[in-house]
Copies of this chain bind each other. A is one copy, B any other.
Amino acid sequence: MKLTKEQIKEIRDQQTQQNKTKRVTVPELESILFEAMPALDHGFVRVIDYMGDDSSIVQSARVSYGKGTKQVSSDSGLIKYLMRHWHSTPFEMCEIKYHIKLPIFIARQWIRHRTANVNEYSARYSILDKEFYLPTAENLAAQSSSNRQGRGDILDDKQAKEVLELLKNDAEQTYNNYETMLNQRYDGSTIDENKKGLARELARMNLTLNTYTQWYWKTDLLNLMNFLRLRADSHAQYEIRVFADIMLDTLKRWVPITYEAFMDYRVGGTEVSAKGKVIIQKLIKGEDVNIDNSGLSKREWNELMLAFDLKDKLI
């Protein structure tokens, strides 16, 4: 991740602001405000603004006149209760805003979370930076043979090198031709004074999907957790998980009580179906249970056993 001198100065200017407010503040989050935290080779996550803290959840759940907090212990109990029983609206009372730089093919996954507010850098209006994502060798995985949308083993060195070569060359070539069509370099300089440039809204179609874009992305705490639950999960694509992991850390700084409940009930928890419950009961009671009398498919059986770390029962 490289920032221009001007960008670094703009970030510093914001970080040295000292404003007074009657609103609740979160020093742990303030300490990283505006900072560009690197993600992948050229991306970043920046926290730009936030509203509320753990006490705000309690405050609105109680519809109280003052601050939510009575005492930390009872606040914590209430937040856990709300999380456990899917009383979700109080979590909507906190809000956070990020500035994110990310590859377009990841942006396309990300945008499927529709409940956020988004302003993306416009390639109709401006020229995109000359930056594209190239995976490190250990992230160049082969197609999984068991999971149609997953990754398998890492490619061997030779093939990895070939793949990287192809990705790099194609991205550079298509970007160069993007500039040629625009008749303009990414720094704004004109290439040939005697030529017109193709409209930006057209030229952009020549870029590859690993080109970086950026956006402001704002969401409430509930929908942030919905996003993180899916995208910080081990089944999520590695490239989006890198961003989700950084955001998980900002969650911890921002609302530590909620973070703990989230990790316990959502991220670390599991769901058990009606049929699965019967099997677990039988296992606890020491009764005989096997896949044939379980009503589960093999896949489901294994998912259940893995959820409870019962590896000896995998089939």
Q: Which residues of A contact B (CB under 8 A)?
A: 3, 6-7, 9-11, 13-25, 30, 33-34, 48-52, 56, 59-61, 63-67, 77, 80, 84, 86, 89-90, 92-93, 95, 97, 99, 103-105, 107-108, 111-112, 114-115, 117-122, 124-125, 133, 135, 139-144, 148-153, 155, 159, 163, 166-167, 170-171, 173-174, 177, 180-182, 195-202, 204-210, 214-216, 218, 220, 230, 237, 263-265, 267-277, 280-281, 283-284, 286, 297, 300, 303, 307-310
Nearest CB in chain B: distance from A138 CB, A:
13
Complex Cα distance, B263 from A100, in Å, reads 33
Q: Which of B7, B170, B196, B277 contacts A269 (CB 8 A)?
A: B277
Q: Judge whether A276 and B269 touch: CB under 8 Å.
A: yes
Nearest CB in chain B: distance from A189 CB, A:
15
Contact A269 B269, CB 8 Å, known A25-B21, A149-B122, A284-B283? no
Q: Judge whether A270 and B265 touch: CB under 8 Å.
A: no
Nearest CB in chain B: distance from A295 CB, A:
9
Q: Which of B59, B90, B273 contacts A268 (CB 8 A)?
A: B273
Q: Judge whether A143 and B49 touch: CB under 8 Å.
A: no
Chain B residues with CB under 8 A of A205: 103, 105, 133, 167, 208-210
- Could you pull out 15 A-B pairs where Cβ atoms are within 8 angstroms? A9-B66, A19-B24, A21-B25, A22-B34, A63-B119, A65-B99, A114-B115, A143-B200, A144-B199, A163-B181, A166-B181, A265-B273, A269-B271, A277-B308, A280-B284
Q: Judge whether B13 and A22 touch: CB under 8 Å.
A: no
Chain B residues with CB under 8 A of A307: 277
Q: Judge whether B17 and A19 touch: CB under 8 Å.
A: no
Q: Which of B65, B107, B263, B309 contacts A11 (CB 8 A)?
A: B65
Nearest CB in chain B: distance from A128 CB, A:
10
Q: Which of B49, B263, B280, B303 contacts A51 (CB 8 A)?
A: B49
